[in-house]
Amino acid sequence: MANEAAPCPCDIGHRMEYGGQGCVVQVEHIRAYLSKPPVDTGKAVVVIQDIFGWQLPNTRYMADMIAANGYTTVVPDFFVGQEPWSPSSDWSTFPEWLKTRDARKVDSSCLSVRGPLASMTGSDRGCLPRAVSHGPPAPATSLGIVKDSEDVYALRKPTLFIFAENDAVIPLQQVSLLTQKLKAHCRVDHQIKTFSGQTHGFVHRKREDVAPADKPYIEEARRNLLEWLSKYV
C-alpha cells in the first residue's frame, strides 16, 4: 500500500519468471488477464494491479493461485494502455507519474467492466478489491492506498487488510490509526493482520524459495486471503 499524503517509492521485489496459466482478453476498452478455475463455481475475483502494471508476472501468479482455488480471476489493465512504473525509472519523477495514474479512477473503471466481466465469466458471485466499496462482497487488500477519509473507515463490505511490520511505505502508526478508526466507524466484518519481519508487498513480491524464514509468513498470508474469499464470496 502507499501513503497517499507522501507517496514513497517501493521495490518491485523478486520478479518471478512466470508465464501464467491464463490468457489475455479484451473487456470493453480494457485488456485483461483471465485465469479460470479447474471447475466453474460461478464465483469471480477481480485483482487490481499495483504500480508495476497488470502484466507483472507476480500478479499473474497470484491470479492463477486464486483461480486454482475455484474463482474465475481477472486482472484488468486499469492504466488503460498507459505505461506502468518501471523499477529503472527516476524515482524523483514518481510523484508526477502517480498523478497520471489516479487510483480513484479505478472505481469507475471497475464499474464499467463489471457487467461485461460477469457475462464473460458466467459468474453470479464476485469480489472486487477495496477500490469498489459499493461493489460485490468480500474485498481483500495486500497492497493499495491508506488515506484518512471517512469512506475508508465506513466499509460497506467485509474486508481483509494484510500489512507488514517493516513496511517502509506504510508505517505501523498508520496501521494503528486505521485499526482505531475501523473500530469506531466500521459496521461490517473486517480483519487487520500485520506480519512480523515482513516488508512492503511481501505477499506477492517475495518468492517462497528465496528466504526460507519468510516462507511461513508468505504462505499464511496467502492462506488467509483464500480463507477470506471462501467465507464471503
Residues marked as catalytic = 127, 167, 200
Helix, strand, coil percentages (3-state) for the chain, rounded to 5, are 35, 20, 50
The Cα–Cα gap between 57 and 21 comes to 11
Q: Which residues of 205-229 are buried (b: 16+ CB within 10 A; e: fewer)?
A: bbbeeeeeebeebbeebbebbbebb
Angle (CA) 28 160 183, round 5°: 125
For residue 49, the 8-state DSSP code is P
In contact, 76 and 31? CB cutoff 8 Å: yes
- Find how far residue 73's CA is from the centre of its chain: 12
CB atoms within 10 A of CB 124: 10
In contact, 221 and 162? CB cutoff 8 Å: yes
